[in-house]
Each structure stands twice: as structure tokens, then as C-alpha cells.
Amino acid sequence: MALTPEQLREIEALRAEARPTRRATVAALEDILYQPLAVLDHGFVRVIDYMGDDGAVVQAARVSYGRGTRRVSEDQGLVNYLMRHRHTTPFEMCEIKFHVKLPIFVARQWIRHRTANVNEYSARYSILDKEFYVPAPDQLAAQSAANRQGRGESLSGAEAAHVLALLRGDAEQTYRHYVEMLNENEDGTALDPLRSGLARELARINLTLATYTQWYWKIDLLNLLHFLSLRADTHAQYEIRVYAEAMLEVLKRWVPMVHAAFMEYRMGGAALSRTAIAVVRRMLAGETVDQPGSGLGAREWRELMAVLGRDGR
């Protein structure tokens, strides 16, 4: 996470200031406001602003005039009820804004969530920093045999070393050529005064998908939960999952009641199909059910057995 001293000073200057507000505030979130939370080798997530707290969800559900908090246990019960019955609109009443630094291939997955506001650093307009993602050795894995979309065993030391050398070498070289084509020093003067330099919007196409970009990303709480349920899931690619995990920690600070309900009903829960429910009922009635007799396909059977804590083979 290569923040320049100047950037760190700007952040510290923001953190040093405090002004009074009549709005709902969350002390645990204020504690980390503006601070970069490191993710991957050069990335970060930092909270820039937020609107609302647990009480705002409760208040919206009741359309009340005041802050809307009663006793903590009542409020948690209401939040649980809303989460369980998918009453979505009260969760839209909170909003959060992040500044995120992330590799472009992660950004491409991330942006598929359309219900957020995004302002990305423009490589048509500005020059990208020399920062690219290189996986840690323990993250270099083979293609999964079981799942066409995932990772399997780690690579051997020799193969891993070779892969790292290729990734690093190509990222270095494509960036070096990027700068060469731009023909521009950091102060804006030409590297070679006899050349014009290629337009930024074209030179950038030489960079690899491992290059870091950054953006401001603002989203309401409901859609953040949806994002997290998909991206903090074990099926998500590791490189986006670590961002989701960092944001789960932010969630816990920001809206602890919503976080608790989310872990109980979404992250820790499971959906059963009509046929799966019938299987569970039969098992509870004492019947021995096997996959061929279950009406479920092989994969669904394994998934159900995993939910039930049983051996699915």
C-alpha cells in the first residue's frame, strides 16, 4: 500500500478535524474514518463518509419522527425480522462511501454490481502509477478439477517461481513501454524531446489487468449486503473476497445489529429447494435417504449434505 507522504499528510489532516453535527454518528466508524485498510499487496479500502446507523434502519421501518431507537433488544428483533422476511427498503436508508485501490481485473468483477455510484481515476486524463498485483506464492493455485470456475491445489515451488517471474516480468515490461510511449516525465516534460508521445487514452491499452486503479464507490446498505453476500462467499475469487472481508469488518463497526442479522440469516444461512425440504422431512421421519432416491442431482445432494453436516458421498 504505497501511499505517498503527502497523501498520508492529507489523510491525517482530515482525521485531526472534528465538527459538531446533529446527524446520527457512529463512534466506532469515526475511529477509522479516512484510514486505509490494507488489502492485497498494494490495495486498500478506506471509508470516506457514511449516512445513518442501526437506528436509521429501525426509524425508517417505523416511519417515525424521532431517532427511532427503543430498547436494544427490541431494535435487534426488528432488524432480524426485516432481514428474515426480506423487507429491503429500510436497509436502503443507510449509505457509505469508500475509496478503494484495486487491480483492474478485480475492478472488472466489482463493477458488475450496478447499484452503486462510482468515480474512477481516469487513465484517459492521468498517468497510472507503477503498481501491479503479484499474487503471494501461497495464492498460486492450479485450475480446480471439481469446479471449472475456481482454484485447486497450490503450484509446486518451481512452477510457482516460474509463474511469478512471468507475471512480474510482463508487468514491468508493459509498464516500461507505457511510459516510453507516453514519452513523459513525472513533471510533464518529454523524455525524448524529438518525439510527440502517444495519447494517454491509447498508451494505457498496453498495461495488463494486474495494474492497480482506484475509485470512489458509494452504495446503500442493502446493496452493500448483496455485494458482500456474493463477494465474501467462498466461491468468489480470492482477490475480490479479501476486499469483501475488509468491508465486513467495516460493516461490524458501522451497523453492528445489521451485521449480526446478516451473519445469521445470509452468510450463515442456506436456501433449500422444494425437493430438498422433502428430503429433510423424510430423514426427520426416520427414513434413510440416498442420492438416487432423493430426487436431487448429484451436486445438489452434496450441497444439501454439506448444509446438514453429513457426508455427501
The candidate with the shortest Cα–Cα distance to 217, out of 94, 46, 62, is: 46
Q: How far is the CB of 257 from a second copy (least distance, A)?
A: 15
Question: What is the rounded CA–CA span in Å between residue 246 and residue 263?
Answer: 15
Specify the residue, 163 or 245, whose C-beta has the smaller distance to a second copy. 163
- 134 close to 168: Cβ distance less than 8 angstroms: yes
Specify the residue, 206 or 294, whose C-beta has the smaller distance to a second copy. 206
Specify the residue, 120 or 249, whose C-beta has the smaller distance to a second copy. 120
**DSSP code for 37:** E
Q: How far is the CB of 131 from a second copy (least distance, A)?
A: 13
Neighbour tally for 257: CB within 10 Å: 20
> What are the distances in angstroms from CA 217 to CA 162, 224, 231?
36, 11, 15
* C-alpha grid cell, residue 253: 463497526
Question: What is the rounded CA–CA span in Å between residue 161 and residue 170?
Answer: 14
> What are the distances in angstroms from CA 279 to CA 66, 265, 268, 269, 274?
48, 22, 21, 18, 9
Q: How far is the CB of 23 from a second copy (least distance, A)?
A: 5
Active site residue 46: no
DSSP three-state, residue 39:
strand
Q: How far is the CB of 249 from a second copy (least distance, A)?
A: 18
Which candidate in 62, 176, 231, 299 is catalytic? Answer: 231
Q: How far is the CB of 12 from a second copy (least distance, A)?
A: 10
Specify the residue, 58 or 246, whose C-beta has the smaller distance to a second copy. 58
Specify the residue, 150 or 256, whose C-beta has the smaller distance to a second copy. 150
What is the DSSP annotation of 101-130? Answer: EEEHHHHHHHTT--SSEEEEPPTTTSPPPS
Question: What is the rounded CA–CA span in Å between residue 123 and residue 47?
Answer: 23
Known catalytic residues are 231
